[in-house]
Amino acid sequence: MIELADVLEARDRVAETSRHTPLEYSHTFSAMTGADVHLKQETFQRTGAFKIRGATNRIATLPEADREAGVVTASAGNHAQGVALAATRSGVDAKIVMPADAPIAKVKATRAYGAEVVLDGADYDAAAERAHEIERAEGRYYLHAFDDPMVMAGQGTIGLEILEDLPGVDTVVVPIGGGGLIAGVATAIVGKKPEARVVGVQAEGAATAAESLRRGERVVLESVHTIADGIATRSVGEETFPVIQDRVDEVVTVSDDDVAVALTTLLERGKTLVEGAGAVPLAALLEERFAFAPEETVVPVLSGGNIDMNMLTTVVVRGLAETGRYLRLRTVLQDRPGALEGLVTVLAAEGANIYAIQHDRTSRDVAMDDAEVELDLETRGPDHVEDVVAALEEAGYPVDVMV
């Protein structure tokens, strides 16, 4: 098992390629929760996520023969970019296998950081198989995304930075996918300040660590599903799990809707972009999935910011809808002059702003002389949504709420 000394030794190495990221007090989230909330903004890390720390420490501690042979790995996400830049800065050759349908932006970024990208495989597992073939054929070192003590130790430098910037920290909240980040951070935090605690957070649809802790043994899920793709991992690591058992206080879960609300709130109020996995700790805090005292000093680790821009627009709409600030509904009107005006009048009286209207007279779901209307509305909150729906129904419009 890794120990505090491993993390302390990683620190200077990691500083060669990575930023000491800001730890920012958040007035907004402190006011919303009653805790004293400071955000560890790893979203501003080079490559947009923490993975470069672990990759740097792993490469720096490889035997010279491995460094000369180069490294290989498989990744559809942040690990690809982290390894690419860490290797380039360390003068080591890197080959990254990405699934054939990997987002173009991530492929371009990985190449731009200096790695050779091999596009192969229908999914991550297939890409990993190909990467292991390359490992054997070319004698390269396979750089695992989390299940490696030197990778964990590198990620743990985040914990050291938090303690340096905020010695009074009570609770650090960390996302869990494979468990490399939390294993390192917990080793650093608990090692230097035993009275502090580390809380892990997973997506409900990929609750591997939560389930493994409950059963007392590592479980592998058949499939996982979450918008937080950075932590959509089918199991925690063999090396990370014992560290989590030993040093993590508790592991909780959040829903995709919770993640969407947290991400949107941080963007709208904090002007900061995170990816789904990066929003997970904030979601757990906002939803009070773990207990905390008033004015307890809580640090959610915003682990990364690499979200696909198309996914972002979907998540934002979902986040607004979830907080009652966006209402998409379908209704039906008689297809005659003035019909739409009646509908708009009801909405104006209720103070709902219209973002968009789609008016379809050819929909097959309604009678020949009616028209289907889809409305996107800005609303003030859950109560307002109820009022708007009730007013429309009272005026004789059938309402089908879509988000």
Residue 267 touching a copy of itself (CB under 8 A):
yes
Residue 122 touching a copy of itself (CB under 8 A):
no
Q: How many CB atoms sit inside 10 A of residue 108's CB?
A: 11
Contact with a copy of itself (CB under 8 A) among 30, 61, 88, 272: 272
For residue 231, the 8-state DSSP code is G
Residue 346 touching a copy of itself (CB under 8 A):
no
Residue 108 touching a copy of itself (CB under 8 A):
yes
Contact with a copy of itself (CB under 8 A) among 13, 35, 38, 48: 48
User: Residues with Cβ < 8 Å from 70, sequence gap 6 or more?
Assistant: 87, 92, 93, 94, 95, 138, 140, 141
Contact with a copy of itself (CB under 8 A) among 29, 141, 241, 326: 326
Contact with a copy of itself (CB under 8 A) among 81, 90, 264, 303: 264
Which one of the spans 64-72, 191-199, 334-342, 358-366 is the region binding a copy of itself (CB under 8 A)? 358-366
β-sheet bridge partners, residue 202: 253
Which one of the spans 86-94, 125-133, 195-203, 260-268 is the region binding a copy of itself (CB under 8 A)? 260-268
Burial class, 113, CB count within 10 angstroms (exposed 0-12 / middle 13-18 / buried 19+):
buried
Residue 368 touching a copy of itself (CB under 8 A):
no
Contact with a copy of itself (CB under 8 A) among 379, 385, 389, 397: 379
Residue 44 touching a copy of itself (CB under 8 A):
yes
Contact with a copy of itself (CB under 8 A) among 225, 313, 367, 400: 313
CB of 224 to a copy of itself, least distance (A): 21
CB of 345 to a copy of itself, least distance (A): 15
Residue 310 touching a copy of itself (CB under 8 A):
yes
Angle at 81 between CA 22 and CA 43, to 5 degrees: 20
Q: Which two tokens stand for residue 149?
A: 């003590």
Residue 357 touching a copy of itself (CB under 8 A):
no
Residue 358 touching a copy of itself (CB under 8 A):
no
Q: How many CB atoms sit inside 10 A of residue 73's CB?
A: 30
Please report how the helices 339-350 and 382-394 are oriented relative to each other, as an axis angle in degrees rounded to 10: 140
Residues 237, 287 contacting (CB under 8 angstroms): no
Task: Read off φ and ψ for residue 19, nearest 5 degrees.
Answer: -90, 150
Q: Give the C-alpha separation, 93 to 108, whole Å.
A: 17
Angle at 133 between CA 131 and CA 136, to 5 degrees: 110
Residue 345 touching a copy of itself (CB under 8 A):
no
Residue 16 touching a copy of itself (CB under 8 A):
no
**Nearer to a copy of itself by C-beta: 39 or 343?**
39
Please report how the helices 78-90 and 104-112 are oriented relative to each other, as an axis angle in degrees rounded to 10: 10
Relative to beta strand 297-302, strand 250-254 is unpaired
- Amino acid symbol at 15: A
C-alpha pair distances (Å), 268 with each of 48, 271, 280, 323: 19, 6, 17, 13
**Nearer to a copy of itself by C-beta: 382 or 396?**
382
Contact with a copy of itself (CB under 8 A) among 8, 166, 221, 316: 316
**Nearer to a copy of itself by C-beta: 46 or 218?**
46
Residues that bind a copy of itself (CB under 8 A): 27, 43-44, 46, 48, 101, 103-105, 108, 264, 267-268, 271-274, 305, 309-310, 312-313, 316-317, 320, 325-326, 351, 353, 355, 362-364, 376, 378-380
